[in-house]
Amino acid sequence: MNRSAWAVDAVRALGTTTDIVTAGAVLGIGRTTAYQLARAGEFPVPVTRVGRRFVVGVPHLLRLIGATETPADNPPAR
């Protein structure tokens, strides 16, 4: 199985939230383990349960991987 690292720009491109499987992939965690950690309340970033789905905020992923929420060379418009 190819588990290549995610580029920061690719993580940012996910939008504001993502599913638990994608969040796990970003962190190098497999599907089954990601679900197990989420159910146990031990996923490395906060997880929100929406019905039967687990949703992860992309800003939490960015902080965990050491990236800022917006690119430093592209500050938000004022």
The answer to whether residue 59 sits within a structural domain is yes
Question: Closest by alpha carbon to 14, among 72, 67, 50?
Answer: 67
The answer to whether residue 53 sits within a structural domain is yes
The domain tally of the chain equals 1
The answer to whether residue 47 sits within a structural domain is yes
The answer to whether residue 1 sits within a structural domain is no
Tell me what percent of the residues of the chain surpass a pLDDT of 90. 78
pLDDT confidence tier of residue 67, bands split at 50, 70 and 90: confident
Boundaries of domain holding 56: 8-64
DSSP secondary structure code for residue 4 in this structure: P
pLDDT digits (tens, 9 = 90+) for 43-58: 999 999 999 999 999 9
Identity (one letter) of the amino acid at 6? W
Vertex 62, ends 51 and 28: CA angle to 5°? 75
The answer to whether residue 76 sits within a structural domain is no
